[in-house]
Amino acid sequence: MTFKRFAITLIIAALAGLSMPASAKDAVVESIWAALPLTIDGAIQDWNDVTPVTDKASTAKYALKNDGANLYIVMVLGDEVARSTILYTGMKVYVTAGPKKVKDTGLLFMQKQLTPDELIASLEKKGEVLTEEKKAEIRKQKSYTVFVEEAIAPKKGVAEPAAEAKPEPALFRSTMRGQAAIYEFKIPLSRIAAAQPGSAIKVGFEWGGMTNEIMKSIMAGRASAGSTARASAGSSDSGFSDTSGQGEGDGGSFAAFTRDKRYSKHAFWADVKLAAPAK
């Protein structure tokens, strides 16, 4: 399958909502063996030999590859509703080699905008030594887009896995291609207990939903709009109350927002068979 053909299959299908031949709910998803390490850049040039799988509920299109060291995942969200809050919530990817769907082993991937000083603090926290010249160079730019990952903390009552001195880093990148958002991940197999080429694992994805940050943004926007409306109305009192159902004191406004599809939470799991090298 050529790059152009794959782009049509993966991205245009995502935008059009076309059904694909496999579904995460009715078949084991076969990972493809990666002969060479993949470049994690949010592009799809490394995925022109796969057929994407569709999650019907979220319309996410995804595919997996692995080699002896890493699990690679690409996901395309062509539905604006499905990806509307992902910048607030990030993408949680759960991976387990056991028979059950467990949320105690996984990673949270997020895309963030940092100021120069926030970036400097982040780099120094990771152990990088920055000269004053390097800091001055960083401060020349107003903001930076960074892609970060952090381990998901186990639930209370669940024993934490033995801590590694320095776990192998996972990677994440995201790009836009037309109206579709492309997300690409790399998760070291060493961070998945008992996972190895040829074994069966479960992979779960979770993103979206209402958050405190989103609610604050909504309420701030409503307050600003209300102030503008009151200023436009002047001192006239018509005797009519706010009939929009979203006025001040409306106890049902939060529930109304949580029912809005733009703030829906998305989650699904897939049974995955990791590929093994050809003998």
120-146 pLDDT, tens digit per residue, is 998 998 889 999 999 999 999 999 999
CA distance 4 to 154: 42
Q: Is residue 234 part of a domain?
A: no
Pairing of strands 265-273, 29-30: parallel
Q: Is residue 121 part of a domain?
A: no
What mean pLDDT is predicted for residues 212-239?
52
Q: Is residue 17 part of a domain?
A: yes
Residue that is written with structure tokens 């730019």 in the block: 141
CA distance 10 to 51: 8
Q: Is residue 140 part of a domain?
A: no
Q: Is residue 261 part of a domain?
A: no
Q: Are 271 and 198 in contact (CB under 8 A)?
A: no
Q: Is residue 77 part of a domain?
A: yes
Residue 129's identity, in one-letter code, is V
Q: Is residue 133 part of a domain?
A: no
Please report, for the domain that includes residue 169, its CATH number: 2.60.40
For residue 236, the model assigns a pLDDT of 39
- Note the Cα 80 to chain centre separation in Å: 13
Domain count of the fold of the chain: 1
Q: Are 147 and 108 in contact (CB under 8 A)?
A: no
Question: pLDDT: is 235 or 116 the higher one?
Answer: 116
Q: What is the DSSP letter of 204?
A: E
What mean pLDDT is predicted for residues 218-240?
48
What pTM was estimated for this model as a whole? Answer: 0.73
CA distance 251 to 255: 8
pLDDT in tens, 241-278: 333 334 444 444 545 545 666 678 899 999 999 999 98
Q: Is residue 245 part of a domain?
A: no
